[in-house]
Amino acid sequence: MKRKTIKNTATLSGVGLHTGASVNVTFKGADAGTGIKFYRSDIEDDTALFADVSNVIATNRGTTLRKGEVEVATVEHLLSAVHSLGIDDLHITLDGPEVPIMDGSAIMFYDTLVASEVIDTDKDREYLVINEIITYKDGETGAELIALPSDFFEITTLVDFNSDYLGQQYADFGFDDSFEKDIAPARTFAFLHELELLFDQGLIKGGDLDNAVIIANEKTSTEKLASLSSKLGKGALKVDEAGVLNTSKLRYSNEPARHKLLDVIGDLSLVGHPIKGRIVATKPGHKANIEFAKILKKHWQAQRKLKGRPSYDPTATPVFNTEQVQAMLPHRYPFLMIDKIMSCTDELIIGVKNVTANEACFQGHFPGNAVFPGVLQMEALAQTGGILAINSMGAEEEWDTYFLKMDNVKFKSKVVPGDTIILKMELMSPIRRGIVQMKGTTYVGDKIASEGELTAQVVKRSK
């Protein structure tokens, strides 16, 4: 799937929930590979603020990003809309310190971006693929997030509000669900007992009954409602049968749980790459979401480092076993450096070398500190590449391979007895006049041990 941006520039306006400041937000398409960048037009600093978890500085009632003098608060609703549309490259310019709250949901951001026409770029998306169970738990709040393997991006949120009205709720979002209909309209919310504290802290200057759902967690006195009415600048307030202090009804019976799910999408988008995996979030909040995003970011970095690492199943049947390898190569102990070939195509071959304490090289390299020599790792790659070249020529026992040069060779981690080396060789260009150019990489566990570019010539074996 290709990376996406928008075709047309668009602007929307509103006020910040926590600052009460009026702000205009302008969306503009960006070149493939740019990423999501925020800019502030109201200050002199023109630094690009990447939508990345490394730039998060606060998670109190919202997610705030900062780099240099450029700070943007309450980014989660906007980013959830951006992420849901698969937009990877976008310039977002604000003339204020906070993304406007709009109606308390993500629907206005979503609609604005759709109207701007989402288009493909010429670059492919890179996914964070969840291939193992990843967990995070906040011992203080009880928030817990789990990532599980899945072919699609899916989220389940489980919340317990300890409220006489709401109690426990959950929400699901899967591959076949509509973000526009099922998640985007869910509004932000706060509890009645928190409201006065939030006002005293100056955290909801732009909040009113039209852009934030206020929920009572218990019966509320008339005096309390009158006090809040005065602070909100509203007439007489009442708590309806659903426990909502609002002139409008809930959009969904589980709207708070859906909004929590919306927040999770926005916060996890700060990993910087779309996720293929199932997220289960129990009692999520911005702090926990961001801590989990940091963990996922580390997994992405490790995954990217090992991009292209072959999977190896030691129980799988090799395409060439040791005897078949010996039939193709002239090498013998102690210089046969391949135990088996796990896969072989016209352009890619995967071999295996099991390093044991009985290797002849360990008699002198080094006594008491056995290290498998890097040059022998290159030799193992060369032999693996030889099989690829010979197999590509179509006559397995009639050709020999002689290596002409090795370029850009790097040794990155130590190989010791007991290690299993995965040998990967791939053609860099088609074979011409018997000349073969290959990219070789060795892996031990989750690390690259060595790599290099090897050039060989394939000639007919003398009889």
Q: What pLDDT, in 10s, does the model give residues 154-189?
A: 999 999 877 777 778 999 999 778 999 999 999 998
Report CA-CA distances (Å) from 286 to 109, 213, 318, 340.
20, 18, 48, 50
User: Of 8-12, 397-401, 403-407, which gets the smallest average pLDDT?
Assistant: 397-401
Tell me: do 291 and 328 sit in the same domain: no
CATH number of the domain where residue 105 is located: 3.30.230.20
Percent of the chain scoring above 90 in pLDDT: 70
| Catalytic pick among 83, 286, 299, 331 | 286
If you ran DSSP here, which 8-state letter would residue 28 be given?
E
Tell me: do 352 and 408 sit in the same domain: yes
* pLDDT tens column, 7-53: 999 999 999 887 788 999 999 999 999 999 999 999 999 999 999 99
Active site residue 286: yes
392 pLDDT more than 80: no
Terminal-residue alpha carbon distance, the chain: 51
Query: What is residue 175's predicted lDDT score, i.e. its pLDDT?
Result: 78
Tell me: do 48 and 121 sit in the same domain: yes
Tell me: do 40 and 86 sit in the same domain: yes
Tell me: do 358 and 388 sit in the same domain: yes
Active site residue 365: yes
What is the DSSP pairing of strand 348-354 with strand 420-427? antiparallel
Task: Indicate whether 312 belongs to any domain.
Answer: no
Percent of the chain scoring above 70 in pLDDT: 93
Query: What is residue 128's predicted lDDT score, i.e. its pLDDT?
Result: 95
pTM of the model: 0.77
How far apart are alpha carbons 279 and 268 in whole angstroms?
10
Tell me phi and psi for residue 299, to 5 degrees. Answer: -65, -40
* pLDDT tens column, 353-391: 999 999 999 999 999 999 999 999 999 999 999 999 888
Unique residue bearing structure tokens 């910040």: 16
* pLDDT tens column, 234-290: 667 777 766 777 556 889 999 999 999 999 999 999 999 999 999 999 999 999 999
The more confidently predicted of residues 250 and 5 is 5
Query: What is residue 246's predicted lDDT score, i.e. its pLDDT?
Result: 59
Tell me: do 334 and 406 sit in the same domain: yes
Query: What is residue 249's predicted lDDT score, i.e. its pLDDT?
Result: 80
How far apart are alpha carbons 9 and 406 in whole angstroms?
50
Tell me: do 78 and 109 sit in the same domain: yes
Confidence class for position 462, pLDDT limits 50, 70, 90: confident
Q: Show the domain range for 293.
A: 2-182+257-303
How far apart are alpha carbons 319 and 171 in whole angstroms?
47
Task: Indicate whether 234 belongs to any domain.
Answer: no
- Listed in sequence order, the residues at least 6 apart from 278 whose beta carbon sits closer than 8 Å to its beta carbon are 130, 147, 148, 149, 150, 152, 154, 155, 156
Under 8 Å between Cβ of 72 and 65: yes
- Listed in sequence order, the residues at least 6 apart from 272 whose beta carbon sits closer than 8 Å to its beta carbon are 35, 50, 51, 52, 53, 297, 300
Under 8 Å between Cβ of 275 and 128: yes
SS3 state of residue 219: coil
The arithmetic mean of pLDDT across residues 126-143, rounded, is 95
- Listed in sequence order, the residues at least 6 apart from 258 whose beta carbon sits closer than 8 Å to its beta carbon are 157, 171, 182, 183, 186, 252
Task: Indicate whether 146 belongs to any domain.
Answer: yes
User: Of 85-89, 202-206, 256-260, 405-409, which gets the smallest average pLDDT?
Assistant: 202-206
Structural domains counted in the chain:
2
